[in-house]
């Protein structure tokens, strides 16, 4: 009898120590770390169709996203690392991350608001990029998992953090729906007038992260115009028509079809690294912004948003130095980002849609990536 009890106890103890094995093969315990008194973790969301997504509250990052191809085979289609330490020490700081306070560049890291001048960290000389030296992508967010398919992240960013005015209360909800959508909802409020532009910086490769480049992905962008840039990737202020240029994705075409054309704009971006002005019907809130199709795997991704713009960046700054999940190297143009957003450098362009958030107002932004096969 005693021996039986002992065996039972040992079995139960071993069983409870056993770690959940994710389809992505990532070990959640590799994300458990206390940083600055806060606990970083990995959360796993699942839906009824077997899609699995993992998110860490370190930077609100989508770490893995297991999506089926046309034969039902799951593959992890976002770039990233399988250990928290690798995220912390990476040269590429934004894999899968929540970006804030300001997605993309602010020229020379300065802007004026209500006649006051604000100066930000120049972390991408000569500009400020993605919220500055320690943006939302490197914060430990407070996290609450709501059931199998939803994660709620919250953060209080103090007044003048990274040079931005106003104490900001931010919430991000990641929801993995049974329609195979990754829905991201952002909301925020501020104690003082400020500027805000939140987005997510997932790097997608529909072949699977680390499985070659994305030049054969067929892209459609619902944009008749884009915002051309100067040599420092700051918008000139013009909204140029895409017609007759390599920026015309209004008819689906391979990303690589014209990427090496010798044009000033492609040379500035070292490929595509531009904001597109989304076509919107009057009063249209959330609308379809983009789609990407991988003819090899059949994976199809559609992007929806209420934002006026989308940054199409195709990994021109990846150089194979990053060794990601499963020891795979992330080479030049081995992923693409479709970051729903207001336009870069809007605080210095009164002609662009406003990014000002005032006390009493609620910032609200949505981005939805929907997956299917063709
Ligand atoms: C920017 C790129 C930048 C990248 C960093 C993109 O949103 O447009 O210029 O290199 O983020 O990961």
Predicted TM-score (pTM) of this structure: 0.94
What domain range is 117 assigned to?
64-130+160-169+184-373
Q: What are phi and psi of 127, to 5 degrees?
A: -120, 175
How far away, in angstroms, is 15 Cα from ligand 1 center? 44
Nearest residue by C-alpha to atom 10 in ligand 1: 317
In a domain, 203, yes or no: yes
| Mutation pick for ligand 1 pocket among 128, 129, 343 (CB with most ligand atoms within 8 Å) | 129
Q: Which of 128, 317, 321 to mutate to test the pocket of ligand 1 (most atoms within 8 A of CB)?
A: 317
CA distances from 111 to 17, 105, 199, 275 (A): 52, 11, 20, 20
Residue 184 backbone phi and psi in degrees, to 5: -125, 120
Cα 234 to Cα 18, 92, 109, 237, 347, distances in angstroms: 50, 20, 11, 9, 12
Q: Is residue 313 part of a domain?
A: yes
* pLDDT value, residue 283: 81
190 membership: H or E segment, kind and range: strand 181-190
Answer whether residue 328 is part of any domain.
Answer: yes
The active-site residue, picked from 201, 274, 342, 349, is: 201
Give residues (CB < 6 A) around ligand 1.
Answer: 92, 94, 104, 233, 273, 311, 313, 317, 337, 339
Residue 339 CA: nearest ligand 1 atom is 7
Within-domain flag for 108: yes
- Is the residue at 56 inside a domain? no
**SS3 of residue 60 by DSSP:** coil
Residue with tokens 């005015």: 165
CA of 102 to the centre of ligand 1 (A): 12
Expressed in angstroms and rounded, the spacing between residue 104 Cα and the centre of ligand 1 is: 7
| Residue 279 covered by a domain | yes
Averaged over successive runs of 10 residues, the pLDDT of the chain (374 residues) comes to 55 58 95 96 98 98 98 98 97 96 98 98 97 97 98 98 98 98 98 98 98 98 98 98 98 98 98 98 90 98 98 94 95 98 98 98 98 98
Q: Specify the pLDDT at position 269.
A: 97
- For a mutational test of ligand 1's pocket, the pick from 92, 97, 130, 339, i.e. the residue with the most ligand atoms closer than 8 A to its C-beta, is 130
Residue identified by tokens 């992240």 is 153
339 as an active site residue: the answer is yes
How many whole angstroms separate alpha carbon 52 and alpha carbon 71?
Answer: 17
User: Taking a C-beta distance cutoff of 8 angstroms, is the pair 201, 137 a contact?
Assistant: yes
Report in angstroms the alpha-carbon separations of 143 from 61, 105, 152, 154, 169. Answer: 12, 28, 6, 7, 14
The rounded Å distance from CA 255 to ligand 1 centre is 17
Residue 30 falls inside a structural domain: no
Q: How far is the CA of 17 from the centre of ligand 1 (A)?
A: 40
Count, residues in the chain: 374
Q: How far is the CA of 129 from the centre of ligand 1 (A)?
A: 8
Residue closest via CA to ligand 1's atom 8 equals 273
Given the residues 75, 161, 181, 339, select the one marked as catalytic.
339
CATH of the domain at 310: 2.70.98.10
Helix/strand/coil for 295: coil
In a domain, 16, yes or no: no
DSSP state of 257: G
Residue 277 pLDDT? 98
Contact 41, 28 (CB under 8 A): yes
**Cis-peptide, bond into residue 126, ω within 30° of zero:** yes
Total domains present in the chain? 1
* Distance set, CA 61 to CA 144, 170, 177, 220, 344 (Å): 15, 15, 18, 25, 21
């Amino acid at each position: 009898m005693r021996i039986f009890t002992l065996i039972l106890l040992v079995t139960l103890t071993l069983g409870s120590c056993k770690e959940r094995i994710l389809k992505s093969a990532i070990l959640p315990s590799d994300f458990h770390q206390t940083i600055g008194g806060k606990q970083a973790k990995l959360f796993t969301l699942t839906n009824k169709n077997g899609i699995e997504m993992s998110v860490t509250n370190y930077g609100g990052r989508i770490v893995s996203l297991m999506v089926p191809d046309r034969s039902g085979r799951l593959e992890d289609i976002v770039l990233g690392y399988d250990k928290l330490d690798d995220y912390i020490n990476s040269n590429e700081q934004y894999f899968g991350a929540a970006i804030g306070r300001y997605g993309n560049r602010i020229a020379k890291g300065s802007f004026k608001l209500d006649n006051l001048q604000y100066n930000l960290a120049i972390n991408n000389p000569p500009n400020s990029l993605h919220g500055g030296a320690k943006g939302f992508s490197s914060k430990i967010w407070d996290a609450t998992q709501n059931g199998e398919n939803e994660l709620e992240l919250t953060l209080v960013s103090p007044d003048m953090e990274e040079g931005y005015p106003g104490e900001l209360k931010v919430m991000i909800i990641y929801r993995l729906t049974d329609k195979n959508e990754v829905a991201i909802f952002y909301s925020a409020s501020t104690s003082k007038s400020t500027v805000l532009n939140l987005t997510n910086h997932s790097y997608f490769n529909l072949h699977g992260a680390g499985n070659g480049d994305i030049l054969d992905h067929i892209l459609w962008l619902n944009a008749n115009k884009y915002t051309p840039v100067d040599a420092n990737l700051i918008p000139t202020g013009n909204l140029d028509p895409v017609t007759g240029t390599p920026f015309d994705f209004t008819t689906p075409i391979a990303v690589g079809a014209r990427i090496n054309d010798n044009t000033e704009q492609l040379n500035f971006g070292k490929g595509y690294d531009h904001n597109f002005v989304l076509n919107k019907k009057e009063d249209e809130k959330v609308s379809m912004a983009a789609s990407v199709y991988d003819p090899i795997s059949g994976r199809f991704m559609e992007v929806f948003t209420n934002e006026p713009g989308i940054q199409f960046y195709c990994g021109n700054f990846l150089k194979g130095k990053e060794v990601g999940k499963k020891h795979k190297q992330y080479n030049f143009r081995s992923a693409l980002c479709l970051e729903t957003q207001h336009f870069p450098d809007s605080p210095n362009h009164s002609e662009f849609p406003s990014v000002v958030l005032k006390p009493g107002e609620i910032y609200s932004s949505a981005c939805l990536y929907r997956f299917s096969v063709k």
